[in-house]
Structure 1
């Protein structure tokens, strides 16, 4: 009996060590994948507040909650099973799919830059008069969920590429963790952002001097914050999109474009001493963004000038 019990305890210990190692593997993989998706997450958080523009304050949080539920469905019901099947049966397709997302992000970022520089705006504008609030909210929710599906697909593809060599179970857990974590972080932040002005107005009406001043600060800061988020989102799209394309070309055997960027990065690192890490990274990120801007501008011209996509004011 003691021998049997000892053997059983040994087995339990082995299983426990294996489980602990698996948890460590999942945590490391999730952290690695999460850092890679940062740019897309920033873009998602920057884009989403625009979807509540034009709504009454009492409908802002319900709309964000509906978008959040749609985002969970996108990631966990549609994209996660598809990503796992892809990694099991068509792993070679991950890089091309990532690059498609890179082209999309490059196009979206470049189009925003072109519009800022005076180019024609494409798609519906937020200045359109709202005639049917219920219909407007449904259309806005559907549009946000479609945009989320594209960005979520890119997040899941980036994550999958980071854990492609891990076991199927680890891949599934990491994809689920990243999907849930990103959704909670993005839409939690969005909810806070869109209610900032209401919180500020409430505080501004309070008798306390500090509360009143802080509330006024929040109200005044809201337009600047939204403008900053829009700018950061555009930069993030270009940086991530360009980085994906350069990495994809390397994987497909064309190293020259990425080698140029790495050469610039190493030159800056060599010349900047203590700040070499961050400045070298910023150099490659800037190179990636410029590359994406060029690629995206070409795509935008082809879509709008040749194929006339969006020429009627709607995508």
Structure 2
């Protein structure tokens, strides 16, 4: 009896070691998508009232957890029943990311043409009402959850690929741990980033001579926060094109081969082919997104004529 218990505990310890090792490997492989996920989600709360930033992050966090609860079992089921369908589903998500990025580019261009980044939309010539702000907040939350769904799908698929050769229970454990760690990590960092200015303000108000260095740091944080948020807004849009374009490039063998051939014609770059590859993925993402956006607008324009 005692021997059987020791063998069971040894097997359990070995299984947990395997899970920890595979989780670390999967986390390393998904680190690039995680960085894009962070930039995209931090960008979603830019422009909101300070009192509404954390509630919006919390709402998106809950939506992200729901996404993982849907995606993890769906990916496991799909890998068992129809593994050929994973790539087309992922490519559809990549195209959606490109579409979202193209929408942001077009809206930014229109804001610039209509009077700069602070200009109000033509349909809202007066100050926005509470109803307008609530509608904007809900739209941001829905958009962030949709975008998170696509990014989470890529994280889940990458993780699934890294544990493809292990036992099914181990796959479930690794997927669940990676999904939970990624969600908590991303939205914890997003919450910290959006409240950076509040931290700086609190530090800048500390009394006493001993707190002078902290007050200096607080003032610098307050000054840096708007620049950081604007930078994240740009990085968030760029990340959509990089991730979406990368998914499309990897999903279409001819496209990936053509991109590799073009990169081979270029002179050497510091860091090898990484920079040209990223540029190529971003360019593919922009072109695919603009094409998808034009197609959607064309479809909407012709709808009234068909009735």
User: Residue 75 of structure 1: CA displacement?
Assistant: 0.9
Q: Output the CA distance in 2 between the equivalents of 1:13 and 1:56.
A: 51
Work out the CA distance in 2 between the residues paired with 1:308 and 1:164: 45
Kept in 2, the 8 Å contact 1:242–1:292? The answer is yes
Offset, 1:93: 0.5
Report what 2:305 is aligned to: none
> 1 CA distance for matches of 2:24 and 2:215?
44
The answer on whether the counterparts of 2:65 and 2:183 sit within 8 Å (CA) in structure 1 is yes
* Matched length: 288
Q: How do residues 181-192 of structure 1 correspond to structure 2 at under 5 angstroms?
A: 181-192=181-192
1:98 aligns with 2:97: no
1:22 counterpart residue number: 18
Partner of 1:175: 175
Superposed displacement of residue 302, structure 1:
1.2
Counterpart residue number, 2:64: 71
* Residues in 1 aligned to 2:53 and 2:24: alpha-carbon distance in whole angstroms: 36
Compared with structure 1, are the counterparts of its residues 164 and 248 closer, same or farther at alpha carbon in structure 2 (3 Å cutoff)? Answer: farther
The answer to whether 1:211 aligns with 2:208 is no
Give the SS at the match of 2:294: helix
Larger deviation, residues 110-119 vs 279-288: 110-119
Instruction: Find the aligned partners of 1:166 and 1:282 in 2 and give their Cα distance.
Output: 34
Per-residue CA deviation, residues 8-59 of structure 1 (Å, 9 max, x unaligned), is 5995597367426623552354234423523542343333323xx44352x4
The question of whether the paired residues in 1 share the 8 Å contact of 2:40 and 2:240 is answered with no
Q: In 2, are the aligned partners of 1:109 and 1:235 still within 8 Å (CA)?
A: yes
Check conservation: 1:32, 1:162, Cα contact below 8 A: no
Post-superposition CA distance 1:145-188 (Å, at most 9, x none)? 34433433343334334444443223322322221122112211
SS in 2 for 1:37: helix
Structure 2 unpaired stretches of 5+:
115-119, 303-307
Task: Supply the distance in 2 between the matched residues of 1:211 and 1:10 (Cα, whole angstroms).
Answer: 55
Root-mean-square deviation over aligned CA pairs: 3.4
C-alpha displacement of 1:230: 1.2
Contact 1:204-1:214 at 8 Å conserved across structures: yes
Residue correspondence of structure 1 range 289-304 to structure 2 within 5 A: 289-304=282-297
Corresponding residue SS for 1:206: coil
In structure 1, what is the Cα distance between the partners aligned to 2:159 and 2:175? 7
| Residue ranges of structure 1 left out of the alignment (5+ in a row) | 310-315
TM-score, normalisation: structure 2: 0.78
Decide which of 257, 260, 263 is 1:259's aligned counterpart.
257
Superposition map of 1:100-139 within 5 A: 100-118=92-110, 129-132=128-131, 136=135
TM-score (norm 1): 0.77
C-alpha displacement at 1:229, in angstroms? 0.5
CA contact (8 A) 1:29 1:174 kept: no
The answer as to whether partners of 2:22 and 2:162 remain within 8 angstroms in 1 is no
